[in-house]
Amino acid sequence: MNGMDKCSEHGKGFEFYCEDHFKLCCTTCVIAHRKCDKLDDIASISRQKLAQLHGLKPSLLKLKSDADAFVAECKHSEEELNASVEDVSKDVNEMTDRMIKLFDAAKQEWLTEANALKSEEVKRLSIMQSVSTKIMEEIIQLFPMWSSIADLGSPQQMFILSKQVEEKIKNIESIIKEQRITQVSSKLALSYTGKLSSILEMGKQFMKVNLERKGIYFKINTVYTLL
């Protein structure tokens, strides 16, 4: 009997069976079942219940078959789990390749657009520089004339020149003021969409692996999701 005929709690042999609680009892256990309605002596009822042991064999065989199937299902699920890890790795590699291709294509468009914007901005700056250069040339041309008139000119010539210079100064000041209002410093900056910025801020946590269980017993599938 391999100890199956003894009470694991008290170490005594089973002598009674309580049908109210479906429990085998030793002489110590039976004290707790004194008030039970169906407390039988095993010696007196055992011959009447001999057929029960033979009737349990099909149930044991059925349970063994179920347990074997469960073990096989567990092994199969483990194999599927290993395969799903490889699938996830492949999916991540494919996603990485797609993202690299996407960024490479976007980079070409960015560079094309950046060069176009740069050309437009260079033209604008060139025009502004040309205006400023012309102003410098006009000012430089005034100095020799100013020196000559100041040293050798008549009072009338000095008066006329001074008024002409005053007018030129007003015009030049107006142009310079307008130039200063216009933005001179310029550079290109790259901006990202809100979703991409959110992914970049999340770091490596932008992907998550989930464990899903399916099947009659259980079947494990590993999947990953982009947050």
Taking the whole predicted model, whether its pTM rises above 0.85 is answered as no
Q: How far apart are CA 107 and CA 114, in angstroms?
A: 10
pLDDT confidence of residue 191: 80
Question: Residues 100-155: pLDDT tens digits?
Answer: 998 899 899 889 998 998 998 899 888 888 988 988 888 888 888 888 888 888 98
Is 215's pLDDT higher than 80?
Answer: no
Is 41's pLDDT higher than 90?
Answer: no
Instruction: State which CATH number among 3.30.160, 1.20.1070, 1.10.3470, 3.40.50 fits the domain covering 1-45.
Output: 3.30.160
Tell me the H-state helices in the chain: 42-45, 50-152, 155-181, 194-202
Instruction: Annotate 187-220 with DSSP letters as a single string.
Output: -------HHHHHHHHHGGGGEEEEEEEETTTTEE
Domain segments of the chain as ranges = 1-45, 69-226
